[in-house]
Amino acid sequence: MVMANGRAVCLLIVLFCESVISFPTENKAPGCHSPLGLSVNVEPLVDIELSAPDGDATAARLHGDSAWRVENITDNTYLQVTLEKPMLIAGVQSQGDPNLDDWIISFKFDFSFDCETFTSNDRTYWGNLDHETTLTHFFHNMTVARCLRIRPVAFQGSAAALRLEVIGCDIDRCRKELSIYEKESLADGDQLLKFFSEKVLTSLQISYIGNGTVTADNKLMVFYSRTCANFEKLTGESVNPVIKDPGDNSHEQVIEIEFPGPVRAQCVQILPGGEFQPVNVKAIGCDTSSTEKSTTNANTCGKSRNTSGLRRKRVVGGAPVIHGDWPWVLSFHFLRQHNYTDRSGLRHLCGGSLIHPQWAISAAHCFSNDVYEGLDVTDNWRVALGENDQTTNDGTEQILEIEKIIKHERAQFKEFPLLYDIALIKLKQPAALSDYVNVICLDTKGEFPEGSRCTVAGWGQDTMETPGTKLPFKAILPIVNSTECREQYDTLPGLDVRIDDSVFCAASETGGRDACWGDSGGPFFCEKDDRWYQVGIVSIGYLCGNNAFPGIYTRISHYKDWIEDKMANN
Q: Is 501 one of the catalytic residues? A: no
**Catalytic-labelled residue, pool 365, 376, 435, 514:** 365
Q: Cβ distance 195 to 177 under 8 Å?
A: no
**DSSP helix/strand/coil, 116:** coil
Q: Cβ distance 178 to 195 under 8 Å?
A: yes
Nearest to 22 by CA among 335, 337, 312, 387: 312
Q: Which residues, including other chains, have CB under 8 Å from residue 72's CB and lie 6 or more apart?
A: none
> Distance between CA atoms of 522 and 539, rounded to whole angstroms?
8
**Catalytic-labelled residue, pool 39, 94, 520, 557:** 520
Integer-rounded Cα radius of gyration of the chain? 25
Look at the alpha carbons of 448, 454, 460, 463 in this order and tell me if their dihedral is positive or negative: positive
Q: Cβ distance 261 to 113 under 8 Å?
A: no
Q: Cβ distance 479 to 559 under 8 Å?
A: no
Kind and range of the H or E run holding 160: strand 160-169
**DSSP helix/strand/coil, 568:** helix
> Distance between CA atoms of 253 and 250, rounded to whole angstroms?
7
550: left (phi over 0), alpha (psi -120 to 50) or beta: beta
Q: Is 389 one of the catalytic residues? A: no
* Residue 448 amino acid letter: F
CA 382, distance to chain mean position in Å, is 18
Exposure letters 260-279 (e unless 16+ CB within 10 A, then b): eebbbbbbbbbbbbeebebe
Nearest to 180 by CA among 281, 324, 40: 281
**Catalytic-labelled residue, pool 102, 376, 421, 514:** 421
Q: Is 421 one of the catalytic residues? A: yes
Instruction: Give the C-alpha distances (Å, rounded to integers) separating 64 from 59, 143, 173, 408.
Output: 7, 27, 29, 51
* Catalytic sites, residue numbers: 365, 421, 520
